Structure 1
Amino acid sequence: MFLSRWLPGLANLLHYRAEWFRHDLQAGLSVAAIQIPIAIAYAQIVGLPPHVGLYACILPMIVYALIGSSRQLMVGPDAATCAMVAGAIAPLAMGDPQRLAQLSVIVTVLVGLMLIAAGAARAGFIASFFSRPILIGYLNGIGLSLLAGQLGKVLGFQIEGDGFILSLINMLQRLNEIHWPTLAIGVAGLIALIWLPRRFQRLPAALVTVAIATLAVGVLRLDHYGVAILGAVPAGMPELAWPQTNLAEMKSLMRDALGIATVSFCSAMLTARSFAARHGYAINANHEFLALGVSNLAAGVSQGFAISGADSRTAVNDMVGGKSQLVGIIAALMIAAILMFLTAPLAWIPQAALGAVLLMAGWGLIDVQSLRKIHALSRFEFWLCVLTTVGVLGVGVLPGIIIAVTLAILRLLYSIYQPTDAVLGWLPGVEGQVDIRHHEDARTVPGLVVYRFDDAILFFNADYFKMRLLDAVQREHQPRAVLFDAEAVSAIDVSGIAALREVRDTLKAQGILFGIARARGKFLRMLVRSGIARELEDRLLFGSVRAGIRAYRVWRNRNKELFASE
């Protein structure tokens, strides 16, 4: 029981089936083949040496394989997370490579601690605040930022400029500085990365592309012609150390770490849930917070950088047929073996080939098709998506996302502030009630207003509810009673209770009865706590609209003299 709750990956491995191993071995080797060139390339997004990207793979993959609940999810360097880490630590490092590496460790540990704290606080629900349009807009922004930042590697010069627009302008101004041999390698790499997956789906396109480019550079000695190469990669495993920092740095890094943790979790959950649904099992969001947090701690103590769910490597794992979390362990051991014994060939990797990998990664984040679908379904959410992209490009990742989430919440509050409502009637041959505003031939019960309000009654819409109900009563000819259909009212607060009392008292002063039908859940509990349920008594609190109408007709028949003048 303990293992299945806290270490589901280990629990799964303890019940491992021998027939899975062949599939897991093949998937593990395939994931490693994809992970190695991507990790090296993504380290350059952060501004760190290539071996740091490999450090960020080994221990986190093993840790997640033991703690994580997803059987398909692979963790590791992620383009979006790396871009956020770079934005957080580059201004503080001020060009010092050693300080950059130290700050990377600090922010990664902070991300891990925040994720663990969120898991302990059962904050998995926050993933719901990142709607699909916001996530798509965010990824589009990160993708465009990557394209602008990595084009220089393919063109053969260092692009200068802070932000997407300035980087793009600087690149266009310096097109006369293109290094043609570097561009040739970059373009050839892009062609290979596009063509290979279409022609050979099971082939690790990134690894093959980088390997061919490395072989060409080494054989033709293109480095002598100005082609930039990766350079020496130190062999061996990382030494565990904790860097020094100060309070001012910690304040800045904690703010950025919160954004990185949030985006990292949402990205990982999106991938994990997609593949879990495909294979028929569920993902516990709160536990995934813990698993991803401990994995980030593992990345930090092994001198790596913040990691997340790796969608491309997860897709490879699933395509090859991985059966269990052993895939991650096999891939991690393969990467460790490369780092220990085969670092010499890595030195000849051309920067242009890594740039091509990063350009494809950036392009893969841009989802134009989903943008079109969102535009067709909801103009507001389309512009919310576009605003998120513009915000990420213009003011930064975290501020851009905060702006988009704030707008989404304001839109939600606005929709709750003025929810739909209806005065109900009946149509011959139609089951249930209909809105009489949309059906002129709908019948009503003379003297009775049956009113429905389609959302919670809370402090910001309580007055609106009161106004709408009383307006509906005023439009009725000689109303004698109001039956409030509360089925859609999921909750009510103190302000809502006060508005409900005011409605009842206003109607009572006019000689109009007020009853409630289909009260349930939190709404009914608040009616009981506030005493309204007792004040209404059973004769004015009904289990159904039909019961309320029957009671009204009985009351009408008993008081015929009131209706004699009608």
Structure 2
Amino acid sequence: KSSNSCLSRCKNTNCLLGTVPVVSWLPRYSIRENALGDLISGISVGIMQLPQGMAYALLAAVPPVFGLYSSFYPVLIYFIFGTSKHISIGTYAVMSVMIGGVIERLAPDSNFMIWDNETNSSIIDVTSRDAERVRVAAAVTFISGLFQIVLGLVQFGFVVTYLSEPLVRGYTTGAAIHVIVSQLKYTFGISPVRHSGPFSLIYTVLEVCYLLPQTNVGTLVVSIVAIIGLILAKELNAYLSKKLPIPIPVELLGIVIATVVSWQVDLNGKYGVDVVGLIPSGLQPPALPAVSLFGQVIGDAFALAVVGYGIAISLGRIFALKYGYSVDSNQELIALGLSNSVGGFFQCFAISCSMSRTMVQESTGGKTQVAGALSAIVILFITLWIGALFEDLPKAVLAAIIFVNLHGMMKQFMDIPALWKSNKVDMVVWVVTFILTVLFNPDLGLAEYIAVRQVPGILIFHSSATLYFANAEMYQDALAKKSGFNITKILSAKKKLEAKRKRHEKKNAKKAKKAAKNNAVDPGKVTRDMIFTVNDEAFFRNYNEVQLRTTPPTPIPLSLSLIYILVHFISPTSNIKLRPFLSVSSTFFHSISCPPALTCSLFPLFLPLSLAGVVDNLQTGGFFNEKVTKSCLFYTVHDAVLHCQSSRKLSQDKVILALKQRTSHSVLKYGSLLLVMNSMLLDEGVSRGGHKILYGCSHCCKCLSSYVNFTWRMC
């Protein structure tokens, strides 16, 4: 009974740590290592959130202050429940324009026309219109969050694997066109009717062209000056990026200068330039979303849920792989869902993550979710005390900020020639998705064998599925799970050790130059070998200590043989998923398994030469590089196994020779990793005693499991 009680408590604890990740990582937060970087990053991102939040609120067709609310509440919720350490949650252009389409459909200007006795004409009741639009935005955001929570609870995070990279990039590029067109009215100072539904973008462009003679010259001048100034400032920022500790807050400087000029010159009164207007101080009290609107927005809410999650998890996985940690896709769904559903009570609109803010958060030293929480505190300070100072900010400047920030999405048009060369099917997916998104709006564009004999020292992984974009992520996860080879932990250990090695090199370089100076040797001629001769024994002793602390609990195999069955086509978006294993070979094992004096073998890739199309796709997809070349290809599994066995002896000979030359300390804990990949069929006609035998490899492997057979070989 006591053991059952203990087990129950452990399960409850694990459930809590999994559902509320902040409980797991915050008590272990290192102030010394992370606090300064998170502080600088949080302030920098918070400063960016101000102009972007106000600008993207215009895209969502709600007052700018609600963009600030959407940059505060959801960020705090994600801090508690999110698993990505680097993505910046908040307003996002694509999500905002999708919400704007819903709002314009359910709360168009025509529904709020009133008669003005002073002018004897119809005018828009802006107060009533904005209040209704906020209700619509909150309702669709709340339902979107509920969808994400439910999908996360039923472990539906894998759905994002069916959003291929060409599809996502084509979709976001098409959505960017909608964003640009929607902001033309603020650039020219005109008032076109906002259309919704299929071909609405074409109708809007035609109406903008028709209204060009009514352009407000003052607004157009402000727009041109703001766009040129922002472009020049961003180019200067990029040029000075290596010399500055943090990037210049270009957007913040832009809105401050524009607000001061507008206030001094009275652009609104003298030249009719449209400005932001009243920004109430403080925060809005929570309110229940409009239940009566749920039925009208349920379809749009599901589209928002999928698109927002797809963008966030894609960006989160990129940085997780870069920094050696894992992102839980189902927990990310729950975190985003809670951010949106709770935000719906506080009049926020749906959020995702922004690439530009994420890059700033990462480049300025942000290392944990604390940076996001600090950015929310910056937004809170602005909202409570200084938000009213931006009431004279021209809306044309916010539109200019949106235009300039979309330059990254516009560069995605370069995908077309690249995909034409690498994979025409992916190019067709990109182009068709883009066209449909532009024409029909963003919300409409989206164990058989029982006995195994293993070759000592070789891990054989077999997948019967065809490798393509939808299962490429699952293939990578299955390989890591079945082999017990956790790449993210290894990369994290590698980065820590690499940083310590660099500090050691720098310290010894100073000592070497000092010693060379004392011995009358030119400091400019100090070589790397001289540097490593200084206190070499102490280094290897320290190296051993570090390696013992970073040693993974699961032994690392010397060789890994991937037997991939029924592969007749590998797209570039699929073979990229294998690159983490290649990066481990060329980075981790070079710096962790071996000291600088040693060399490690790379991943040989095994494919049958008869499938020339597969090899061509790997070539055009950028799979090969200077370290992983076609010389790593083998004709049969048997040849690959023989190579694995011979490379073991050669590697051991090199290790023994290097250790004798360098130091008497034993520093090699694990061997290097050898990857062998085969896309040939099993010979169904060969069997002995009910055991299937690989063609040409009868003495190497008597039987192959339908999913994985493996053996460890330790040096």
Flag whether TM exceeds 0.5 (same fold). Answer: yes
- Cα distance in structure 2, aligned partners of 1:110 and 1:436: 49
- Cα distance in structure 2, aligned partners of 1:283 and 1:437: 36
Gaps of 5+ in 1: 402-407, 410-417, 422-430, 439-484, 490-514, 519-536, 550-566
Q: Which residue of 1 aligns with 2:527?
A: none
Q: 1:195 aligns with which of 223, 228, 232?
A: 232
- Cα distance in structure 1, aligned partners of 2:178 and 2:612: 50
Give 1:313 deviation, angstroms: 1.2
Q: 1:141 aligns with which of 170, 174, 198?
A: 174
Residue 71 of structure 2: SS of its match in structure 1? helix
Q: Is the aligned partner of 1:354 residue 2:406?
A: no
Q: Which residue of 2 aligns with 1:328?
A: 372
Give 1:134 deviation, angstroms: 0.4
RMSD: 3.0
Q: 1:5 aligns with which of 18, 27, 48?
A: 18
- Cα distance in structure 2, aligned partners of 1:18 and 1:437: 54
Q: 2:684 aligns with which of 496, 516, 522?
A: 516
8 Å contact from structure 2 (residues 98, 304) kept in 1 = yes
- Cα distance in structure 2, aligned partners of 1:395 and 1:119: 29
8 Å contact from structure 2 (residues 289, 345) kept in 1 = no
Residue 545 of structure 1: SS of its match in structure 2? coil
After superposition, residues 206-217 of structure 1 pair within 5 angstroms as: 206-217=251-262
Give 1:184 deviation, angstroms: 1.4
After superposition, residues 466-477 of structure 1 pair within 5 angstroms as: none
Q: Which residue of 2 aligns with 1:244?
A: 290
After superposition, residues 153-164 of structure 1 pair within 5 angstroms as: 153-160=186-193, 162=195, 163-164=200-201
- Cα distance in structure 2, aligned partners of 1:275 and 1:89: 34
Give 1:434 deviation, angstroms: 6.8
- Cα distance in structure 2, aligned partners of 1:34 and 1:437: 49
Q: Which residue of 1 aligns with 2:137?
A: 104
- Cα distance in structure 1, aligned partners of 2:371 and 2:91: 17
8 Å contact from structure 1 (residues 107, 254) kept in 2 = yes
Gaps of 5+ in 2: 1-12, 110-128, 242-246, 447-468, 471-565, 570-605, 614-677, 700-715
Q: 2:280 aligns with which of 218, 225, 234?
A: 234
Residue 350 of structure 2: SS of its match in structure 1? coil
- Cα distance in structure 1, aligned partners of 2:612 and 2:99: 55
Q: Which residue of 1 aligns with 2:598?
A: none
Amino acid at match of 1:398: D
Q: Which residue of 2 aligns with 1:315?
A: 359
Give 1:400 deviation, angstroms: 1.6
**Residue range with higher mean Cα deviation, 278-287 or 157-166:** 157-166
After superposition, residues 336-351 of structure 1 pair within 5 angstroms as: 336-351=380-395
Q: 2:429 aligns with which of 363, 384, 390?
A: 384
Identity %: 26
Q: 2:440 aligns with which of 395, 403, 409?
A: 395
Q: Is the aligned partner of 1:84 residue 2:98?
A: yes
- Cα distance in structure 1, aligned partners of 2:360 and 2:179: 22
Residue 321 of structure 1: SS of its match in structure 2? coil
Give 1:242 deviation, angstroms: 1.1
Q: 1:119 aligns with which of 136, 148, 152?
A: 152
8 Å contact from structure 2 (residues 104, 194) kept in 1 = no
Give 1:4 deviation, angstroms: 4.0
Residue 282 of structure 1: SS of its match in structure 2? coil
8 Å contact from structure 1 (residues 13, 325) kept in 2 = no
Give 1:75 deviation, angstroms: 0.6
- Cα distance in structure 1, aligned partners of 2:396 and 2:87: 29
Q: Judging changes above 3 Å, is the alpha-carbon distance between structure 1 residues 155 and 15 closer, same or farther for their aligned structure 2 residues? A: same
Structure with max Cα Rg = 1
Residue 444 of structure 2: SS of its match in structure 1? helix
Amino acid at match of 2:694: S
Give 1:351 deviation, angstroms: 0.8
**CA offset digits 1:191-214 (Å, max 9, x no partner):** 122111221340111111111111
Q: Judging changes above 3 Å, is the alpha-carbon distance between structure 1 residues 298 and 250 closer, same or farther for their aligned structure 2 residues? A: closer
Q: 1:93 aligns with which of 107, 112, 133?
A: 107
Q: Judging changes above 3 Å, is the alpha-carbon distance between structure 1 residues 117 and 356 closer, same or farther for their aligned structure 2 residues? A: same
**CA offset digits 1:88-121 (Å, max 9, x no partner):** 2321223333222111111111111111111111
After superposition, residues 27-106 of structure 1 pair within 5 angstroms as: 27-95=41-109, 96-106=129-139
Q: Is the aligned partner of 1:205 residue 2:250?
A: yes
Q: Which residue of 1 aligns with 2:618?
A: none
Q: Is the aligned partner of 1:178 residue 2:211?
A: no
**CA offset digits 1:105-147 (Å, max 9, x no partner):** 1111111111111111111111111111101110110111111
Number of aligned residues:
438
8 Å contact from structure 1 (residues 487, 517) kept in 2 = no
- Cα distance in structure 1, aligned partners of 2:350 and 2:325: 27
- Cα distance in structure 1, aligned partners of 2:393 and 2:406: 20
Amino acid at match of 2:25: N
Amino acid at match of 1:299: G
**Residue range with higher mean Cα deviation, 357-366 or 136-145:** 357-366
| Greater fraction helix | 1
Amino acid at match of 1:106: A
Give 1:300 deviation, angstroms: 0.9
8 Å contact from structure 1 (residues 233, 347) kept in 2 = yes
Q: Is the aligned partner of 1:132 residue 2:165?
A: yes
Q: Judging changes above 3 Å, is the alpha-carbon distance between structure 1 residues 325 and 434 closer, same or farther for their aligned structure 2 residues? A: closer
Give 1:542 deviation, angstroms: 2.8
Give 1:365 deviation, angstroms: 2.2
8 Å contact from structure 2 (residues 279, 387) kept in 1 = yes
- Cα distance in structure 2, aligned partners of 1:85 and 1:196: 30
Give 1:150 deviation, angstroms: 0.4
Which stretches of structure 1, 4 residues or longer, exceed 4 Å deviation after superposition? 418-421, 431-438, 485-489, 537-541, 546-549
- Cα distance in structure 2, aligned partners of 1:229 and 1:396: 28
**CA offset digits 1:368-421 (Å, max 9, x no partner):** 2223212221222212111111111111223222xxxxxx99xxxxxxxx9859
Q: Is the aligned partner of 1:18 residue 2:31?
A: yes
**CA offset digits 1:518-544 (Å, max 9, x no partner):** 8xxxxxxxxxxxxxxxxxx96676322
- Cα distance in structure 2, aligned partners of 1:364 and 1:63: 28
Amino acid at match of 1:544: L
Q: 1:279 aligns with which of 323, 345, 362?
A: 323
Give 1:44 deviation, angstroms: 1.0
- Cα distance in structure 2, aligned partners of 1:192 and 1:365: 20
Give TM-score, length-normalised by structure 1: 0.72
Q: 2:306 aligns with which of 237, 242, 262?
A: 262
Give TM-score, length-normalised by structure 2: 0.57
- Cα distance in structure 2, aligned partners of 1:436 and 1:539: 31
Q: Which residue of 2 aligns with 1:414?
A: none
